[in-house]
Copies of this chain bind each other. A is one copy, B any other.
């Protein structure tokens, strides 16, 4: 069976267009850029993510003999295309905003510069990777900002949109500052810390809740987190307290308890009281179920005695905004700037750069969007990452990517760190870019 990440994971029109380009020898150098057109409601910024997976895709994209045979069997494609795909290697250049960077609409997260058929062929999957990871990292960043100092964990695999959404959510939220994920594959694939407690079914299997707690603790002595709400949360907490001395005698500490239902704030307060009175002051309280950034902010505001949060579908499906309005658009071809003029969807042409300036207190003051050959003041956000189909440097460590994200989130203007921003970050289009747009329109015969 083909992998779900086979190069056939693309839109048919990409193959149709490559067929037509090959038929005409239309293979001059093209530049395409991926960017987000506008932010969803209540969002003030994007956190770039997905680049390393996108680069992996470009470096390793190959059509197997079986895939070529299937394409041939459809009768849709001619031998010149099949031969081209069989020998396919991505040989282009990539420029991008590094993962973990804060960025804004119209700023290219990634640029592909390659012979036209190559640049076209990779469109669908590149968008598929970059859109989703940036969506989730941007959502996770709001949660991180809403709950400073708290442990946030991705519990969302089960209702993520398929296997890869679960995997990418773990990765993107970890970049944004989450502490880990429940998804074991995220540990194996990416080295992300994996976390987990127990399910209600575990308690239900046992006739006695205390016996369930003890059996679980003895099998997981290194990090016992007990789920205490299967029947009655406060009663569950009292049972944990009663069990603690017996476990302690065998060197096992109850590291935490989890509450997954009811009024989480009220329950956490009562449970904290029971644990503290029972001598379990070091036992942390984790909660799960319906957690999003607004819930987090509300819990912080009332100083709920909660140490950590398991966050599910609100993260993995970005429930309030499950997509970003984004595009992968041709910027130039054969040396000429290009842009689309479709009603309501016109874009800025050319190969672009973003310059960012900072206030004296280190906060972001504004960005300038221009053509890359322009000269502007500030820090350049877009850097070369791949040349001739090869990465220019090994993938950065998660520590580095997470440090970048933490630094950029700290440098956001204060209003943009709030869940309701009330302001728009200034991204100014430079004169040089406006002039190029006019030039592109002049070339457009339509």
| Chain A residues close to B by CB (< 8 Å) | 1-6, 8-17, 19-21, 23-24, 26, 30, 32, 67, 70, 74, 76, 116, 120, 123-125, 127-129, 131-132, 155, 157-168, 182-185, 187-189, 194-202, 204-205, 207-209, 215-216, 218-220, 222, 229-233, 235, 260-263, 313, 317-319, 322-324, 326, 328-330, 333, 338-345, 443-446
Contact = CB atoms under 8 A, between A and B. Distances in A.
A157 B9 contact: yes
Contacts of A328: 158
A151 to B, nearest CB: 15
A128 B262 contact: no
Q: How many copies does the complex hold?
A: 2
A330 B230 CA distance: 12
A218 B23 contact: yes
A196 B15 contact: yes
Interface centre among A183, A184, A222 (most CB of B within 10 A): A184
A61 B165 CA distance: 20
B204 A9 contact: no
Nearest to A3: B3
Interface centre among A194, A219, A232, A317 (most CB of B within 10 A): A219
B219 A19 contact: yes
A262 B343 contact: yes
Interface centre among A9, A21, A261, A329 (most CB of B within 10 A): A9
Given A204-B330, A313-B323, A340-B200, A12 B163 contact: no
Nearest to A207: B445
A163 B164 contact: yes
Nearest to A131: B159
A261 B347 CA distance: 13
Contacts of A204: 330, 333, 338-340
A317 B282 CA distance: 42
Contacts of A219: 16, 19-20, 23-24
A4 B261 contact: no
Contacts of A19: 219-220
A257 to B, nearest CB: 14
B196 A11 contact: yes
